[in-house]
Amino acid sequence: MTLRAMSAFNGTLPVPTDMLIAFIRDPKKYAYLNYTQLVPAPEVQFSWFRLDPDEAIRLSNVNDYGWGYGDYRPTGKNFTMRTEVIADRVQRWDFPYTLDENVQRIWAKQGLNPRQLYDITKASQAGLHRASRVVSALQGASWGANSTDLGTLLGTSGYNWSNSSGVQYDSAGVPNPAFQIIKKTLNRVKRRIHLATNGVVGRDDLVLVLSPTVAQAISESGEIFEALKQSPYAKEVGVDLMNNGSNARDWNLPESYAGFKIVVEDTPRVYVNQKEDGTIADVTVSSQKDYILGSTDTVYFVSRVGGLDGGYGMKNFSTIQCYTFNGESRVEAFSEPKHQLIEGHVVMEDKVTTPALISGFQLTNVLTA
C-alpha cells in the first residue's frame, strides 16, 4: 500500500454533481408530429368509410338536369353513391427494461435516478419506432397518379432544386431558365392535389416533408438565398420566418415558402446493436447511424387537416394518420420484491395508415433532374 500526503486530490473520492451527459430526444419533438395526424381509435379494431371522390363534382352533361315546365319532375337513380368500408386494427408494442433495486438505490445516492433514465430512454425509442413506421408508410405507399419525378412534372431537364436561381434575367436581359424552380414545382404540385381532391385541399393544408439532404441543398440554393435576402419583405415573396412549429429554421430554411409549411424529417436512428466494448455507432457509415429518411432526394407533400389531433368518425382527408388506442403511449411498472427487481415498460397500441393518398404527392429526383 502506498502512503500519500493528504491534499485536495489524494485520498478523497470525487464529489458527484447533477451533470448528466445524455442525448435523449423528447418524444414530443419528433418531426413526424408536424405532418402526421393522431386519431384515437375506439377499440383495437376500427374502421372508416371512403366515399367515391368523383361523385360530388360529376357533371357529364349540364342538360341532364333540366326540368321543363309542364313536364314530370326528374327522378334520380338509386345507389349512385359508392362507398367503401375499410377495417383495420392497432398493433401493440412494448419497450421493456429490468432494473435491480440495489442499482436504483446506489445510483440515487450519486444524484441519478436510473428508473427515470430508463423511462425517458424507452419513451424516446418508442417515439423513434413510430416515426420510422410513418416514414416507411410514406415510402411504401402506392401513390399512383400522385407521384412523378421533377423533370416530368416541369417538362424540363438539367434544372433542379439545388441549382434553382433567384435571378430572373441575366445581365443581357435573357430569361433565366433556372429561375424559381422550387416555387414552380410547388405551384404544379398544389394544382395536381387541388384538382384530385375536388378543390378541397389547398396550399394552406399542405406540408412539404424533406430529408436533411434536400434541406441542406436547397438552403444553399440561389432561389432560397434570394428569398431570405428579402426577409424584411418576406411575406411579399411567400417566405414565412415566424415560428409555426416547423423545424426548418434548424436547417437554415424558412418555415414556409410559397405558402407551404416546411418540415425536415431529421430523426436519427442507430441501426446496429450495442457493442460490448462501448463503441458507439459511426456517423460516417449510414448503415450504422443515419436519418430515417436517409439521403434520398424524394420529397413528400402531405395534407394534415385540423392539426395534430383528429376526431374519430369525423370527415377527414389527411394523407397519413396514426390511430392510437389507450392513449398515445403509456409507462407501466411492476415491482418484484422476491427478486428485488423493478420491471418497466413503455407501451404503444397504434396503427400508421395512409387513408387519403390523393391529398398528398410523392416527388422524386428533386436534386438530380
Q: pLDDT per residue over 123-144, tens digit each?
A: 999 999 999 999 999 999 999 9
Instruction: Name the pLDDT band for 369 (thresholds 50, 70, 90).
Output: confident
Strands 37-40 and 239-240: unpaired
Rounded-to-integer distance, Cα 16 and Cα 10, Å: 16
**Given this model, what pLDDT does residue 50 score?**
84
Residue 278: what pLDDT? 83
CA distances from 340 to 35, 99, 106, 114, 119 (A): 44, 9, 13, 15, 18
How many CA atoms, within 13 angstroms, populate the side-chain half-sphere of residue 346? 21
Q: Is the pLDDT of residue 7 over 50?
A: no
> What CA–CA distance (Å, rounded) separates 103 from 108?
8
Task: Please say if the pLDDT value at position 9 is more than 90.
Answer: no
Average pLDDT over residues 106-114: 86
Domain ranges, ordered by start, for the chain:
27-42+93-364
Model's pTM, two decimal places? 0.87
> CA 87, CA 45: separation in Å to the nearest integer?
7
* Nearest to 186, CA basis, from 216, 207, 165: 207
pLDDT band at 323, cuts 50/70/90? very high
In this predicted structure, the answer to whether residue 243 has a pLDDT above a threshold of 70 is no
At 347 the three-state DSSP class reads strand
Nearest C-alpha neighbor of 318 from the set 173, 191, 200, 233: 200
Fold of 27-42+93-364: phage-related protein like fold (3.90.1690)
- In this prediction, residues 211-229 reach a mean pLDDT of 94
